[in-house]
Amino acid sequence: MSEAKRKPVKKEKLSVMDKVLAFFKNLPKNIAKPFMNTWRELRKVTWPTRENLINSTLLVLAFMVFMGVVIGLLDMGSTEVVKLLSRLAG
């Protein structure tokens, strides 16, 4: 069996007016497409239980307080070092 080589199909060149009309014809579909994709993805999400959500929220808040204290202490320490250096230099 021999296979004949196929010639690539040439697409017709659309006029500018045809392109504009096609753009406006497909506009509602093109606007709705991202929202439909987002909705499909949201349906796949496994949402946390209320207990899991509360535990995670408390963990994040505790970490934020801890990091606030650490950053505050570092800030106070660096302020004291700068004051000491300025006294020594002046």
For the full predicted model, state whether its pTM sits above 0.85: no
Instruction: Give domain limits for the chain.
Output: 14-45, 49-90
Instruction: Supply the pLDDT for residue 14.
Output: 77
CA-to-CA distance for 14 and 37, rounded, in angstroms?
Answer: 29
CA-wise closest residue to 43 among 31, 35, 51, 32 = 35
User: What's the pLDDT tens digit per position in 13-67?
Assistant: 878 888 999 999 999 999 999 999 999 999 999 999 999 999 999 999 999 999 9
